[in-house]
Amino acid sequence: MSAPLKPLPAWADVALIPLINVAAAFVISGLVVLAIGENPLEAVKILVAGALGDLEGIGFTLYYATSFIFTGLAVAICFHAGLFNIGVEGQAYVAGLGAALAALYLGFLPGYSLVFVAIIAGALFGAAFAAIPGYLQAKRDAHIVITTIMFNYVASALMGYLLVDVLRAPGQMNAETPGFSKYGIVPQFHVLLKPLGIIWPDTPFNLSFLLALACAFGCWLLIWRTRLGYAIRAVGANPTAAIYGGISPARVTIVTTLLSGALAGGMAANVILGEEHRLILEYTAGFGFVGIAVALMGRAHPVGIVLAAILFGMLYQGGAELAFDKPKISRDMIVVIQGLVVLFAGALEHVFRRPVAALLARRTSQPPI
Amino acid sequence: MNPQAPAASAIELIGIDKSFGPVHANANVNLEVERGVIHGIVGENGAGKSTLMSILYGFYEADSGEIRVNGKPVRIRSSREAIDCGIGMVHQHFMLVQPLSVLDNVMLGAEGGALLAKGAAAMRKRLAQLGKEYGLEVDPDAVVGELSVGLQQRVEILKALVRGAEILVLDEPTAVLTPAEADQLFEMLRVLKRQNKTIIFITHKLREIMSLTDRVSVMRRGEMVATYETAETSPPELADAMVGRKVILKIDKSPAHPGKVVLEARNLVVSDDRGVVRVHDVSFALREGEILGVAGVAGNGQSELLEALAGIRPPASGEILVDGRLLRSSEHDPRAVRRLGVGHVPEDRQRVGLIMSFEACESAMLGFHDQPAFGRGILFDRRAIVADAARIMEAFDVRPRAPLLRTANFSGGNQQKIVLAREIDHDPRIMLVGQPTRGVDIGAIEFIHKRIVAERDAGKAILLVSVELDEIFALSDRIIVLCGGRVTGERRPEETNPQDLGLLMAGVSERAA
Amino acid sequence: MGFEDLLSVLGSGLRLSVPLICACLAGLWSERSGVVDIGLEGKILVGAFAAAAVATFTGSAWLGLGAAMVATIAVSLVHGYASIDQRANQIVSGTAINMVADGLTALIGNAIWSQGGRTPQLPDSALFNQIQLPFVDALRPIPVLGPVYKHLISGHDLITYIGFACVPATYWALYHTRFGLRLRAVGENPAAVDTAGISVRGLRYRAVIICGALVGLSGAYLSISQAAYFQPHMSAGKGFIALAALVFAKWRPWPALATCLLFGVLDALATRLQGVPLPFVGPVPVQAIEALPYLLTVVLLAGFIGKAIPPRASGIPYVKER
């Protein structure tokens, strides 16, 4: 049994170690790039240029970031309650169903209220789908990790069936729903800004971004400034003390998963209502899992999540450009980076503590503790 | 070797010293245990008995000192080395694998080969033989998890014997046994002694010492205080050595003026998480304006009693009445109990009473976070929360006065003051207080004691659970003693003394023989 | 459905269950020792890729298999290090492995062969091919037994036979050897093992290595036996089905075999029953059958059909009480 960890100064704890963890992920990714015979620094240049070099790149970056903010928040809110929600992928998928059904069948609603209702419907469907594993954990002690993994596949099967056999537009070859009316879509920025004389390139970047930011702020308020948030954090930090304080961990678990699923539904607003304008197969494309990396990297704090989401947005957009320029560095590279971030920010987060503590102790010439 | 020399002692501990940070758990302890003898080690909580035995069994290494087994100096750095020296330990919390059979558990670590079949056959024979020899019969194919606690303990003992233990250490073995099972255990130990095994028996119950041991050593506050031949001593003498001539902290306390009964327990039976009954048929009445002290060595049901009264652990049977009204089963809930005006200072502030990662002002809200004072609408009124925390920290002299500092960064005494401040500030009529000064420095102890008495003078009813006798004496207007989950006695502080209470705490009561 | 049809489905089911069985046993060894492993999915991919890549370069299926096992053992050790020595959250570690494996296998495959991550088609000589057991044709005419022998028992590749053999081997090792006893104990009560003088860490690392070896078998089967190449994401959730099977089988070897066979047969049935109307229900959507293993696992976990209690120390890093 080795010596106990030396305490680190607060700034090292909050900023330095997380930065080192993320840096480690990128350094190893760079080594992978080297191993396949490409220049990592050149790759970074292309990536950054592709993501931020022009308005079109920025638009795509922020569009992806919007989805990541929603999925990141969804995972993070569960983290605060001590729950690991791996099912955001499936919850976002089912949320898409809610949004699509509303957009397609509630057309009798006046004007643009339709899209608002569709967004809410998406959130409701996502919430309901997430609450099932939540309830099973709270009341039946079924491990939420395994159940949410299972439910991802159930969602896939369910939605596959619905899209192929039930909701498909007649005569349509692809497994997708008919397109939505103009009242059932979230307007894209370039469309909104044209009448004002501002010309932006055609990108999927849409108003859901503002909704995402609002949700991030809302989450911050909820978690740190409301009684529910207090209860959530208490259960996540110390369930025994929470019970002592009159809080019910079961109730908190269910409410948290409901909120988490609702946040996952935001991705439906961004992608289904904001860009595709129809429900398509597997639209979530792994973004639910990116949410895990974003939440870990952002240390479950909305500010960190927004920043991490933008970083991953850059990776996805820049990564597409990079794959185009350097076919050897395919878009799978981003998944590797994502996984390494989860590894270092999530699993191996303490591996650098001892060397850093030793380094700091030496530099301030204090005797080792 | 000189044939005339006396046989070497089975165990000799010479100058054992061990500290954990500021806590000096063992201070220059000397112990000599002769072979073929049942040697008891007795002392209160925190006396250092468990630490000493952990050193003997290789869990810890002493900072200094020497261990000799059968006259030979040895180094024991792991359980393996202890086993090799012939030392076997029966832990207080059994080291058994519940889903496996008795045979599997006993074989673990002594399988006798890479394939089990051969070793299993041999082990079965050995178990049968040991069973007959020592009266330790157990069905080798029974699943350990399904055995009674007494039988599980037998398996623990068999495990040690099977590995050739010549020296058996038992740590508080009767804590989970019924009196009948305890008597059976003693019989087994006597048989073992007749076979020239050496037995070290750790307990705080004097009845057991007197009936079982040949020799007894007393530890107090990390030191080995005395060793007696059991036949030549008596419970009062032992209790005296256990608690020592302590200076009783005297605080100026005006006499109590108890009013009406506000909290009553009737025939409470409370079980722990494993279903073992910890509180057996306890009844008492608590009045306004009095402090009722519950004395007893830790682990005798006080924790479960407090949890039942606080609504955290519903009682298996019995009744709790607040203001003469029976609590319904739906009210056995911390929130409901708090609403009835019952404050609770839990025994374990770090695990139960506070949330270490929260800011101090957030910990100061625990249990009361839905009060309107902290925010009228959906959102918290952050300024009010911080101001409130600052206020109570000022009133209770919590240092540093930093409501935004993480709770974990406060010292133990200041953490306790935060808990106390929180509970008192919400003006409960009844207070349940557990170990209020555990791990708290002297200055804070005095402050906390003064505040508790002040609350009593203001007409609150206070139930004080403490393992510290001087605290019990300093604060209580009335004292009841718990041992083995039962009330072994009730006294007024002026009619008793630590030795008398020590006897009650050690199970020697008017009622239990 | 005629008898031959039934045999055909069972045969398909059996072949589909092979990667499940190997991965499930792998998970069993790990979780029984107390290390939760949800990274099976990623490790299958690593094994599949390594097998195909090395088989392509060397032309040898055996070297491919060896490479697969080396690679998966290496990945398992990373997970083991994180879980045992770093006391990390084992779920997070497993998730990370899944992600990295998914991306890395596709990336490297694409970088080398530029076919979108697919490895080149392997010739028969570099694959584990069907092995016809002796007397197949001679026994063919025997009613029932003959066809069963031909379709179900004979005609499988080596990995299948090894995989199936691992089930009784696991059972025997787990319940009849010293190592197995200690391993079962450490997953339930590591403190008991520690106080008996046995190294908890050593046991868990050994379990993790065995897990790695077995999951390598699973991956290799996919790319150098069932198919003749590696394709990104080809594990297609098998790692998670194996996990589901493990829970369903309550962490025991023979029930694990039965469950994996069941899931394999369900998979084979799914394609068979597509569009075929069943009495009362009508045409069963293939997705319903696909979802069945997952739903069953959830039902089991929720305690609706008996209790699934994992090894008591599962997922909890062992810290000596000090």
Better-predicted residue by pLDDT, B6 or C311: C311
B378/A234 CB distance under 8 A: no
C100/A146 CB distance under 8 A: no
A244/B356 CB distance under 8 A: no
By the CB < 8 Å criterion, does C282 face chain B? no
C176/B78 CB distance under 8 A: no
List CB contacts (< 8 A) between B113 and chain C.
178
For A161-220, the pLDDT digits (tens) are: 999 888 888 888 888 898 998 888 999 999 999 999 898 999 999 999 999 999 999 999
Nearest to B108 among C196, C320, C322 (CB): C196
Torsion on CA atoms A137, A139, A142, A145, rounded to nearest 10 = 0
**pLDDT > 90? residue C103:** yes
The alpha carbon of A274 is separated from its chain's Cα centroid by a whole number of angstroms, namely 17
Whether C293 is covered by a domain: the verdict is yes
> What's the rounded mean pLDDT across residues C84-92?
91
Task: Looking at the structure, tell me whether residues B223 and B323 fall in a common domain.
Answer: no
Through-space distance between the first and last CA atoms of chain C, rounded to whole angstroms: 65
Q: How far apart are CA A117 and CA A104, in angstroms?
A: 11
A149/C243 CB distance under 8 A: yes
Whether B251 is covered by a domain: the verdict is no
Please report, for the domain that includes residue B131, its CATH number. 3.40.50.300
List CB contacts (< 8 A) between A240 and chain B.
351-352
**pLDDT > 50? residue B426:** yes
Task: Looking at the structure, tell me whether residues B222 and B274 fall in a common domain.
Answer: no
List CB contacts (< 8 A) between A136 and chain C.
298, 301-302
Q: How far apart are CA C133 and CA B284, in angstroms?
A: 81
Nearest to C291 among A149, A154, A329 (CB): A154
Other beta carbons within 10 angstroms of residue A71's beta carbon come to 33
> What's the rounded mean pLDDT across residues A207-235?
96
| Strand residue runs (E) in B288-372 | 291-295, 317-322, 325-326, 342-345
Task: Find the angle CA(C3)-CA(C4)-CA(C7) to the nearest 5 degrees.
Answer: 90
Task: Looking at the structure, tell me whether residues B363 and B458 fall in a common domain.
Answer: yes
Q: A95: burial class by Cβ within 10 Å (0-12, 13-18, 19+)?
A: buried
By the CB < 8 Å criterion, does A37 face chain C? yes
Residue A366's pLDDT band (cuts 50, 70, 90): very low
List CB contacts (< 8 A) between B367 and chain A.
244-246
SS3 A254: helix
Whether B250 is covered by a domain: the verdict is no
Q: How far apart are CA C68 and CA C22, in angstroms?
A: 13
**Nearest CA distance, B5 vs chain A (angstrom):** 42
**Nearest CA distance, A148 vs chain C (angstrom):** 9
> Cβ distance B205 to B242 under 8 Å?
no
Q: How far apart are CA B214 and CA A169, in angstroms?
A: 91
List CB contacts (< 8 A) between B335 and chain A.
246
Q: How far apart are CA B147 and CA B101, in angstroms?
A: 10
Nearest to B80 among C181, C197, C320 (CB): C197
> What's the rounded mean pLDDT across residues B216-222?
90
For C165-177, the pLDDT digits (tens) are: 999 999 999 999 9
SS3 B346: coil
Domain containing residue C153:
3-301
Write down which chains contact chain A via at least 3 CB pairs under 8 A.
B, C
Q: How far apart are CA A76 and CA A94, in angstroms?
A: 19
**Nearest CA distance, C106 vs chain A (angstrom):** 6
> Cβ distance B196 to B165 under 8 Å?
no
Please report, for the domain that includes residue C216, its CATH number. 1.10.3470
Q: Looking at this predicted complex, what is its ipTM? A: 0.88
Residue A48's pLDDT band (cuts 50, 70, 90): very high
Task: Looking at the structure, tell me whether residues B301 and B239 fall in a common domain.
Answer: no
B379/A226 CB distance under 8 A: yes
List CB contacts (< 8 A) between A149 and chain C.
38, 240, 243
SS3 C250: coil
Side by side, which strands form the sheet with B486-491? B342-345, B430-434, B461-466, B291-295, B478-483, B486-491
Which residue of C lies nearest to A136 if distances are taken between CA atoms? C302
Residue B6's pLDDT band (cuts 50, 70, 90): low
List CB contacts (< 8 A) between A328 and chain C.
110-111, 114
The residue with tokens 């349940």 is B432
By the CB < 8 Å criterion, does B418 face chain C? no
List CB contacts (< 8 A) between A150 and chain C.
240, 244, 294-295, 297-298
Strand-pairing partners, residue B101, are B143
| Assigned token pair, C84 | 């045992």
Task: Looking at the structure, tell me whether residues B129 and B229 fall in a common domain.
Answer: yes
Q: How far apart are CA B158 and CA B165, in angstroms?
A: 10
Q: How far apart are CA A127 and CA A255, in angstroms?
A: 9
**pLDDT > 90? residue A243:** yes
Plot region of B70 (φ>0 → left; ψ -120 to 50 → alpha; else → beta): left
Q: B331: burial class by Cβ within 10 Å (0-12, 13-18, 19+)?
A: middle
Better-predicted residue by pLDDT, B298 or A225: A225
**pLDDT > 70? residue A25:** yes
- Compute the residue count for chain C: 322
Whether C234 is covered by a domain: the verdict is yes
Number of domains present in the structure of chain C = 1
Residue C152's pLDDT band (cuts 50, 70, 90): confident
Whether C309 is covered by a domain: the verdict is no
Cβ within 8 Å of residue C196, ≥6 positions away: B79, B83, B95, B108, B109, B110, B159
**DSSP string covering B40-98, please?**
EEE--TTSSHHHHHHHHTTSS--SEEEEEETTEEE---SHHHHHHTTEEEE-SS----T
C89/A145 CB distance under 8 A: no
Q: How far apart are CA B139 and CA A84, in angstroms?
A: 43
By the CB < 8 Å criterion, does C38 face chain A? yes
> Cβ distance C208 to C80 under 8 Å?
yes
The alpha carbon of A124 is separated from its chain's Cα centroid by a whole number of angstroms, namely 18
Residue C19's pLDDT band (cuts 50, 70, 90): very high
Task: Looking at the structure, tell me whether residues B334 and B475 fall in a common domain.
Answer: yes
Nearest to A241 among B355, B375, B378 (CB): B355
Q: How far apart are CA B312 and CA A244, in angstroms?
A: 7
The pLDDT, as a whole number, for residue B245 is 61
By the CB < 8 Å criterion, does A352 face chain B? no
Whether C46 is covered by a domain: the verdict is yes
Residue A23 phi/psi, 5-degree rounding, is -60, -40
User: Please, what CATH class does the domain formed by A67-313 belong to?
Assistant: mainly alpha
**pLDDT > 90? residue C219:** yes
Whether C317 is covered by a domain: the verdict is no
Task: Looking at the structure, tell me whether residues B183 and B309 fall in a common domain.
Answer: no
SS3 C88: coil
For A307-324, the pLDDT digits (tens) are: 999 999 999 999 999 988
Other beta carbons within 10 angstroms of residue B176's beta carbon come to 20
By the CB < 8 Å criterion, does C277 face chain A? no
Nearest to C103 among A86, A157, A335 (CB): A335
How many alpha carbons fall within 13 Å on the CB side of residue C270?
19
Q: Which of B213, B243, B273 is the last residue of a domain?
A: B243
C295/A86 CB distance under 8 A: no
**pLDDT > 70? residue C1:** no
For A106-143, the pLDDT digits (tens) are: 989 888 899 999 999 999 999 999 999 999 999 998 88
Task: Looking at the structure, tell me whether residues B202 and B276 fall in a common domain.
Answer: no
By the CB < 8 Å criterion, does A300 face chain C? no
C95/A351 CB distance under 8 A: no
Other beta carbons within 10 angstroms of residue B87's beta carbon come to 28
By the CB < 8 Å criterion, does A232 face chain B? no
The alpha carbon of B123 is separated from its chain's Cα centroid by a whole number of angstroms, namely 36
Strand-pairing partners, residue B430, are B342, B461
The residue with tokens 């009682």 is B315
Whether B5 is covered by a domain: the verdict is no
> What's the rounded mean pLDDT across residues C45-51?
96
List CB contacts (< 8 A) between A86 and chain C.
91, 95
For C228-279, the pLDDT digits (tens) are: 999 999 998 899 999 989 988 999 999 999 999 999 998 888 777 776 776 7
What is the enclosing helix (H) or strand (E) of B450?
helix B442-457
B312/A231 CB distance under 8 A: no
Task: Looking at the structure, tell me whether residues B214 and B293 fall in a common domain.
Answer: no
**Alpha carbon separation from B124 to B129, C179, C220 (Å, rounded):** 8, 19, 44
The pLDDT, as a whole number, for residue B118 is 87
For B263-286, the pLDDT digits (tens) are: 999 999 999 887 888 999 999 999
For A279-339, the three-class secondary structure string (H helix, E strand, C coil) is: CECCCCCCHHHHHHHHHHHCCCCHHHHHHHHHHHHHHHHHHHHHHHHCCCCCCHHHHHHHH
Write down which chains contact chain B via at least 3 CB pairs under 8 A.
A, C
Domain containing residue B170:
11-243
List CB contacts (< 8 A) between B99 and chain C.
188, 312
> Global pTM?
0.88
Residue A28's pLDDT band (cuts 50, 70, 90): very high
Q: Between A88-105 and A287-297, two packed helices, what is the crossing angle to 10 degrees?
A: 120
Nearest to A225 among B351, B353, B380 (CB): B380
Residue from A225, A233, A235, A244 to probe the interface with B (highest B Cβ count within 10 Å): A244
What is the enclosing helix (H) or strand (E) of B302?
helix B302-310
Cβ within 8 Å of residue C126, ≥6 positions away: C55, C56, C58, C59, C60, C61, C64, C224
By the CB < 8 Å criterion, does C199 face chain B? no
**DSSP string covering B221-288, please?**
TTEEEEEEEGGG--HHHHHHHHH-SPPP-----PPP---SEEEEEEEEEEE-TTS-EEEEEEEEEEET
| DSSP classification of residue B306 | H
Whether C321 is covered by a domain: the verdict is no
Whether B389 is covered by a domain: the verdict is yes
**Nearest CA distance, A125 vs chain C (angstrom):** 19
By the CB < 8 Å criterion, does A143 face chain C? yes
Q: How far apart are CA B49 and CA B34, in angstroms?
A: 18
Whether B253 is covered by a domain: the verdict is no
Q: How far apart are CA A67 and CA A209, in angstroms?
A: 8
C108/A36 CB distance under 8 A: yes
Residue C142 phi/psi, 5-degree rounding, is -60, 125
By the CB < 8 Å criterion, does C182 face chain B? yes
Annotated domain spans of chain A: 67-313
For B33-86, the pLDDT digits (tens) are: 999 999 999 887 677 888 898 889 888 888 999 999 998 999 998 888 898 899
Residue B96's pLDDT band (cuts 50, 70, 90): very high
Number of domains present in the structure of chain B = 2
